[in-house]
Amino acid sequence: MKSILLSIVCALAAPLAFAQVSTTTTEQTTTQPVTTTQTTTTYTTGTVSTFEPGKTIVVKSEEGPVSLALGTAAHIVNGAGKVVSSALRPGQHVRVYYTGPTEHRMVERVVVED
């Protein structure tokens, strides 16, 4: 009788001893909204007042003198789009394309219109 009782207890305990434990992990992620920055290019036309290569250009326009910073990426080209190798001279008619607010205008391209 003891062996039958022991066999029944073992038979009932065996499924619990060999049962697999299941673990479920849930991960929640959130994404930040994408921010975009829009840069607009503006231009001014006029005549060169002063020009310091690699530094600044001052253009006399209808609104008055406009001072702009020349960055390393600024290109000086002629009306056909060819790079101008000579320095700008006072009195040359130019169109200056730039970005940034009034106090931080950065030149992208200068087109010599003479």
What distance in Å separates the CA atoms of residue 75 and residue 20, rounded to the nearest whole number?
71
- Rounded CA-CA distance 106/96 in Å is 10
Question: What pLDDT is attached to residue 14?
Answer: 62
**77 pLDDT band (50/70/90 cuts)?**
very high
Q: Rounded distance, CA 62 to CA 19, Å?
A: 87
pLDDT tens-digit readout, 29-47: 777 887 776 677 889 999 9
- Could you tell me the residue range of the domain that residue 77 belongs to? 42-112
Asked whether residue 46 is domain-assigned, the answer is: yes
pLDDT of residue 93: 96
d(CA 113, CA 91): 11
Q: Copy the structure tokens of residue 61.
A: 């326009």
pLDDT at 69: 93
Domain with residue 62: its CATH number is 2.40.50.320
pLDDT digit string (tens) for 48-72? 999 999 899 999 999 899 999 998 8
Residue 35 falls inside a structural domain: no
In this prediction the pTM is: 0.64
Number of domains in the chain: 1
